[in-house]
Structure 1
Amino acid sequence: MKGMNASTGRSIVDLDHLYQSVAKILTTPLASCVKRRTFGSEIPDLVDAPFNGATRTRLYAAVATAIMKWEPRIVLTRVQLNTNDTTDDDDGAQVIDLEGYTTESGDAVRTSVNLNQTSAA
């Protein structure tokens, strides 16, 4: 699939477009798109929640639900939450690592989404 890079306005294709779409879906709060109230995920609401097992479970469910609903080009096989407490630059940054395969070609895909960078829909 071909699309436009949200930062540069240049054309992007295939996996680059897929990764951008996944990041947009996961970082967009539900009900923030006026004409598509159901677009996005619950993840932005969970970023500041207590870092415990219940929140992690809700976050994994939110990732799976949003991707299954809004991105039919990917099937997830692994979702992992990582918190970066080792560097001063991204202290406490929450990153979701995703693995899966594309429905179009079956190619393996792997990407990471920084949850601290919310999207304006």
Structure 2
Amino acid sequence: MLRTNSLLIKIGIPIAILTLGIFYYYFNPTSFAFTPQCPFHFLTGFHCPGCGSQRAFHEILHGNIWTGLKHNFLILLAFLVIGYKLYVSFINKSTSKKNNNLLHHNSTPWIILAIVLGFWILRNIPLEPFLILAP
């Protein structure tokens, strides 16, 4: 049973990512009402750390990197973490020696949490230098 679950994860996650990628490539979240809207922004009027991620992902898939980042700069952190995780996974499979993974360090989740909370606060300040952080 454990082996079956592992195989499902190894096949299911890439299929889900590919399906979402195809979906966001062909459907612009600003043009279609069936894409999920942010409930936090709807209820409070403030931007959450994830606001603009769908639009950012759509723009990045179309090669508009800067436009995508302007929708949500935090998506860069997500890509860096995912890319690093894939890199470490690949390196550990290709060598017999296990490399240290920085994501498994005790302070890493706290650093990421501080970055996300800081981004969340700064993107809701309605002053000129911080307006670029709002989607």
- TM-score if structure 2 supplies the norm length? 0.30
- TM-score if structure 1 supplies the norm length? 0.33
Larger radius of gyration: 2
More strand by share: 1
